[in-house]
Structures are given as structure tokens and as C-alpha cells.
């Protein structure tokens, strides 16, 4: 949707094919940082979204016994928001429609060819100068291109709970609670909602139970004794962490973007952020080099490093929770200490947060130049 809006604004004639009957997201929050917020700003959509979300002022990490391992003020120049997922897709769909994008619902794509042919599931065939495969982790278009891509589920499961009040999130803070191989993140998501994610090893059959086994979770997180019943009562969805390895993000006139290209564990809150950032730089590459056959390799060569690094660090972060040996629990604070004392580590891990300022395709540096 983001790529469609940007290309339409740049003068392209765009159609989005969505297999569902509506533009819909699950009830949950989503973290967005400057790499995507700057893009929304540029397209005049930031204010519309920001009023439905919460700007975070602090980020904390707290151990089972209440020891605060990290307490970081979000710097004024680096925005971090949590917004309802539905608000994000609504704002993008609004921007796309305003830009003249045609959105075809109930329109499932079967496959795409490098020459720009698109085959729909109802048997119709269409031709385009450029096809963007933004069809998610299980991307049928990517797999049909036979470029050697792989995707798989990781051994971590995650619940997302969307709570229709701010009782457990009175302050604009994101807090992560750690206990053994489990982690709970709590943050406000706009004026009326709180967003909670709970990550745990997929083999942990008790943790996996829905509704939550309150006795078990309270033993693991005694600090959250009062909040857990509120969390357990809220609408919940359960997922597995995923990973995508895609050796190329393009084949002829087909570009692969978003989770289809670089699905990753959500530990750094950057999956959608990368998708929006990469859509922006794809548009930039196409405005510099009109021929898609030349623009796509250029785009990938500029953006690949940021996505690859973010995937690597997201997996490390996942292992840090899920696979940390419980008998070495006493060593985990050393990792927090290292990140607290060597900001360059955080900068490397969060390279995507600065993405648009460090790529040669940066629309912002291009403007400045
Ligand atoms: C628990 C969890 C927490 C997360 N937290 C964050 C976060 O805080 N911040 C962040 O930035 N990211 C987060 N992410 C990642 C983020 O949700 C994804 O990276 C993002 O949704 C990817 O967007 P996408 O458009 O590439 O794919 P999707 O969101 O999967 O969208 C794909 C779309 O394509 C449609 N489609 C699929 N196949 C076809 C077809 N054949 N024909 C037509 N339409 C089709 C689908 O219906 C869907 O609408 C999280 C993910 C999870 C699981």
C-alpha cells in the first residue's frame, strides 16, 4: 500500500491487488521509528497517524525480581511511536486512494513473470511495467520466481494482546519484563489502548496455553500480578516468529518487498518499518532511473545491507530471550551492561532506525544535495 501510494504520487498508474475482502489488520499495536515516520511525514500522513498513537518517552527493561536493567529516555530527535495496526493500514490506504491508486479487493494473485506478466487466481492475465510483490512471509509470487528463496518458522511463539484501556500503561513508556526464556512487552497504543506482546519458546506448552495460565505466568512474572488478569482478558492472537532468506529482491520487472523479501523476528520492531522505508527508496530509484530493469538492482544494492543487518540482529535478540541457558541467567545482566555502556552496539543493532539517513538513496540527503 505504501509503495503503491508513493509510485502513484510519482506519476505511475498503480493497481493494488489484495486477496482479502477488506484492508484489515489484526487488533494489536505496532512500533514505528524514524525510518518509517519520516516517510509518512514526507507524504503528509504522519499527523493523521500520530494522533491515533502514542509517542514513547522512555524504554525500560526489568528483570523478574524488579531490577531495572535499562532505562533509556528516547532522544527528542529520534521518534518512537506505538500505533494501532489498523490505524497504520487505514492511513496508508487513505494516502493510496488520495494518490489515485486503484485498490482491487478479493483479487488474488497466482504468480508473476519477470517480463511483467501477472496471473490472477481467476485466470485473468495482466501486463505491467513493474510488479511489486508485497504478499508477506508466505509470498507466492516470490516462490514462483524460483530465485532460491527460503522461509521458515523459528522456535519462538508470541501472543499479541490489545487492551481497550490505558489502566496498565498510564505513562508513555515501553517496558519489557524478562523472566527466564520469556519476555513481556507493555506499551500504550494511542489514547484508548494498551498493547502487550508475550514471547516464549514454542516448546513451552504451558506458556502457549490460551487463555493464559494465570498461575504459571504470575509465578514467572510476580511483578505483573495485577496486570496479568487484565492482559489475559483482552483479545489475543498467537503467532510464530518467522525468517525469510531471499537471495535477490528482484527478477526482471518484479520487485519483492516487505516480509516477502526480508521477513524477520519482530524483536526490533522493524518489519513494517523496513517495508515502508524500502518502498520509499524503490520510488526514489525509479525516479532516478526510469527503466525498472536498471532501477531494481540499484535499489537493492543500496538497501540490502540495512535489511540484512537488521535480520541478523533481530535473530540474535530472539536467541537472547528464547535460547539463553537458564543456568547462565546471572550472566545476562552483562549483556545489558554492554549495551548501556557502548552506544555503538545499539547503533549497530538498530541500523534500520537510521536507515534513511545512511543510504545513498536517502530522499532526505537527496533533497539537501
Ligand atoms: C508479533 C509481531 C509483532 C510485530 N511487531 C512489529 C513492530 O512493532 N514494528 C514493525 O515495524 N513490524 C512489526 N512486525 C512485523 C510486521 O507486522 C510485518 O513486517 C509487516 O506486516 C509486513 O508487511 P507486508 O506488507 O510485507 O506483509 P503482510 O502484512 O503480511 O501483508 C501482505 C498482504 O498481502 C496480501 N496477500 C498475500 N498473498 C496474496 C496474494 N496471493 N494475492 C493478493 N494478496 C495477497 C495479504 O492478504 C496481506 O494483506 C511484527 C510482526 C509480528 C508477527
Give the model's pLDDT for residue 73: 96
Which ranges in 221-270 belong to alpha helices (H)? 227-233, 259-262
> What sign has the CA pseudo-torsion 34, 35, 41, 46?
negative
Residue-by-residue DSSP string for 319-363: HHHHSS-GGGGGGHHHHHHHHHH-HHHHHHHTGGGGHHHHSTT-H
Site to probe by mutation for ligand 1, drawn from 22, 32, 136 as the one with most ligand atoms within 8 Å of Cβ, is 136
Going from the Cα of 158 to the center of ligand 1, the distance in angstroms, rounded, reads 15
**Whether residue 365 has pLDDT greater than 60:** no
Q: Is 35 in the pocket of ligand 1 (CB under 6 A)?
A: no
What domains are there in the chain, each with its CATH number?
A: 2-368 (3.50.50.60)
Going from the Cα of 219 to the center of ligand 1, the distance in angstroms, rounded, reads 33
Give the model's pLDDT for residue 304: 96
What is the arithmetic mean of pLDDT over 83-91?
98
Encode pLDDT of 220-237 as tens digits: 999 999 999 999 999 999
Encode pLDDT of 51-86 as tens digits: 999 999 999 999 999 999 999 999 888 899 999 999
> How many whole angstroms separate alpha carbon 282 and alpha carbon 120?
24
Encode pLDDT of 284-338 as tens digits: 999 999 799 999 999 999 999 999 999 999 999 999 999 999 888 889 999 999 9
Give the model's pLDDT for residue 369: 36
Count of other CB atoms within 10 angstroms of residue 167 = 11
**Whether residue 367 has pLDDT greater than 50:** no
Give the model's pLDDT for residue 368: 40
Asked if residue 108 lies in contact with residue 20, where contact means CB atoms within 8 angstroms, the answer is no
Bridging pattern class, strands 254-256 and 182-188: unpaired
Q: Is 94 in the pocket of ligand 1 (CB under 6 A)?
A: no
**Whether residue 204 has pLDDT greater than 50:** yes
Q: Is 144 in the pocket of ligand 1 (CB under 6 A)?
A: no
364: confidence class by pLDDT, cuts 50, 70, 90: low
280: confidence class by pLDDT, cuts 50, 70, 90: very high
Q: Residue of the nearest CA to atom 34 in ligand 1?
A: 135
Q: Is 361 in the pocket of ligand 1 (CB under 6 A)?
A: no
Asked if residue 121 lies in contact with residue 110, where contact means CB atoms within 8 angstroms, the answer is yes
What is the arithmetic mean of pLDDT over 200-219?
97
CA dihedral of residues 1, 235, 52, 307 (deg, nearest 10): -40
Going from the Cα of 263 to the center of ligand 1, the distance in angstroms, rounded, reads 9
Asked if residue 71 lies in contact with residue 60, where contact means CB atoms within 8 angstroms, the answer is yes
Give the model's pLDDT for residue 161: 98
Give the model's pLDDT for residue 77: 86
Which residues, 6+ apart, have CB-to-CB distance to 176 below 8 Å?
A: 59, 60, 61, 62, 183, 184, 185, 186
Encode pLDDT of 156-202 as tens digits: 999 999 999 999 999 999 999 999 999 999 999 999 999 999 999 99
Give the model's pLDDT for residue 350: 95
Of 48, 53, 49, 2, residue with least CA distance to 23: 2
**What are 101's three cell numbers?**
491508486
User: Is this prediction's pTM over 0.85?
Assistant: yes
**Whether residue 244 has pLDDT greater than 50:** yes
362: confidence class by pLDDT, cuts 50, 70, 90: confident
What is the arithmetic mean of pLDDT over 265-269?
97
Tallying the residues shown for the chain, one arrives at: 369
Give the model's pLDDT for residue 25: 87
DSSP state of 222: G
Amino acid at each position: 500500500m505504501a509503495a503503491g501510494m508513493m509510485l502513484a504520487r510519482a506519476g505511475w498508474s498503480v493497481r493494488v491487488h489484495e486477496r482479502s475482502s477488506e484492508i484489515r489488520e489484526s487488533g494489536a499495536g505496532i512500533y514505528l521509528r524514524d525510518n518509517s515516520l519520516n516517510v509518512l511525514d514526507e507524504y503528509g500522513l504522519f499527523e493523521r497517524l500520530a494522533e491515533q498513537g502514542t509517542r514513547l518517552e522512555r524504554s525500560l527493561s526489568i528483570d523478574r525480581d524488579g531490577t531495572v536493567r535499562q532505562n533509556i529516555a528516547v532522544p527528542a530527535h529520534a521518534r518512537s511511536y506505538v500505533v494501532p495496526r489498523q490505524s497504520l493500514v487505514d492511513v496508508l490506504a487513505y494516502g493510496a486512494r488520495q494518490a489515485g491508486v486503484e485498490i482491487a479487493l478479493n483479487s488474488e494473485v497466482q504468480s508473476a513473470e519477470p517480463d511483467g506478466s501477472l496471473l490472477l487466481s481467476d485466470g485473468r492475465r495482466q501486463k505491467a511495467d513493474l510488479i511489486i510483490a508485497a504478499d508477506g512471509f508466505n509470498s507466492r509470487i516470490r516462490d514462483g520466481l524460483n530465485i532460491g528463496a527460503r522461509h521458515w518458522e523459528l522456535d519462538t511463539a508470541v501472543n499479541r494482546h490489545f487492551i481497550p484501556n490505558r489502566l496498565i500503561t498510564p505513562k508513555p513508556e515501553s517496558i519489557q519484563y524478562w523472566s527466564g526464556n520469556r519476555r513481556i512487552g507493555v506499551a500504550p497504543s494511542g489514547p484508548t489502548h494498551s498493547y502487550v506482546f508475550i514471547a516464549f519458546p514454542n516448546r513451552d506448552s504451558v506458556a502457549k496455553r490460551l487463555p493464559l495460565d494465570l498461575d504459571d505466568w504470575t509465578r514467572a512474572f510476580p511483578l505483573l500480578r495485577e496486570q496479568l488478569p487484565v492482559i489475559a482478558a483482552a483479545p489475543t492472537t498467537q503467532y510464530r516468529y518467522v525468517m525469510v532468506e531471499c537471495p535477490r529482491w528482484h527478477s526482471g520487472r518484479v520487485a519483492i518487498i516487505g516480509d516477502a523479501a526480508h521477513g524477520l523476528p519482530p524483536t526490533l520492531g522493524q518489519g513494517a518499518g523496513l517495508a515502508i522505508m524500502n518502498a520509499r527508496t524503490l520510488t526514489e530509484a525509479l525516479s532516478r532511473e526510469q527503466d525498472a530493469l536498471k532501477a531494481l538492482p540499484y535499489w537493492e544494492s543500496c538497501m540490502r545491507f540495512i535489511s540484512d543487518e537488521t535480520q541478523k540482529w533481530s535473530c540474535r535478540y530472539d536467541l537472547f530471550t528464547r535460547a539463553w541457558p537458564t543456568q547462565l541467567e546471572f550472566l545476562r545482566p552483562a549483556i545489558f551492561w554492554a549495551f548501556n555502556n557502548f552506544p555503538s552496539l545499539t547503533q549497530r543493532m538498530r541500523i534500520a532506525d537510521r536507515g534513511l539517513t545512511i543510504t545513498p538513496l536517502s530522499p532526505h540527503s537527496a533533497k539537501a544535495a
